[in-house]
Structure 1
Amino acid sequence: MKLKICGMKYPDNILEVGSLLPDYMGFIFWQKSARYFEGEMPELPKSIKKTGVFVNESIPIIEEKIAKYNLQAIQLHGQESVEFCLELKTKFGAAIEVIKVFSADENFDFSVLKPYESICNYFLFDTKGKLPGGNGTTFDWKILSNYPSTKPFFLSGGIGIEELDNIKEISKTNLPLYAIDINSKFETEPGLKDIKRLNDLKIEIIDAFKI
Structure 2
Amino acid sequence: MKLKICGMKYPDNILEVGSLLPDYMGFIFWEKSARYFDGAMPNLPQSIKKTGVFVNASQGEIATKVAQYDLQAVQLHGHESVVFCQELRSKLAKNIEIIKVFSVNADFDFDQLHPFETVCDYFLFDTKGKLPGGNGTTFDWKVLAKYPSQKPFFLSGGIGLDEIDLVNEILKTDLPIYAIDVNSKFEIEAGLKNINLLREIHPKISTDNSRIVRTNIK
Q: TM-score, normalised by structure 2?
A: 0.94
Equivalent pair of 1:104/1:127 in contact (CA under 8 Å): yes
Cα distance in 1 between the residues matched to 2:48 and 2:67: 17
Summarize the alignment of residues 24-43 of structure 1 with structure 2, pairs less than 5 Å apart: 24-43=24-43
**Deviation for aligned residue 1:142:** 0.1
Q: Report matched runs for 1:148-167 at 5 Å.
A: 148-167=148-167
One-letter amino acid of the counterpart of residue 120, structure 2:
C
Report what 2:71 is aligned to: 71
Q: What is the 5 A alignment of 1:37-186?
A: 37-186=37-186
Cα displacement string for residues 92-135 of structure 1 (whole angstroms, at most 9, x for unaligned residues): 24221000000000000000100000110000000000000000
Name stretches of at least 5 consecutive residues in structure 2 with no aligned partner. Answer: 210-218
SS in 1 for 2:92: helix
TM-superposed CA distance for 1:209, in Å, is 2.5
Q: What's the % identity of the aligned pairs?
A: 69
More helix by share: 1
Most deviating of 161-170 and 130-139: 161-170
Aligned letter for 1:98?
I
Paired residue for 1:209, among 196, 199, 207? 207
Deviation at residue 32 of structure 1 after TM alignment: 0.1
Runs of 4+ residues deviating >3 angstroms: none
| CA displacement at 1:69 relative to structure 2 | 0.1
The answer to whether the Cα contact below 8 Å between 1:51 and 1:75 also exists between their aligned partners in 2 is: yes
Per-residue CA deviations over 1:135-171 (Å, capped at 9, x if unaligned) read 0000000000000000000000000011111111211
Q: Is the 8 A contact 2:63 2:92 kept in 1?
A: no
Give the superposition deviation at 1:19. 0.1
Alignment coverage as a number of residue pairs: 209
Give how far 1:210 is off: 4.0
User: What is the alpha-carbon root mean square deviation over aligned residues?
Assistant: 1.0
Q: Secondary structure at the residue paired with 2:33?
A: coil
In 2, Cα distance between equivalents of 1:210 and 1:79: 35
Q: Could you say which residue in structure 1 is the equivalent of 2:213?
A: none
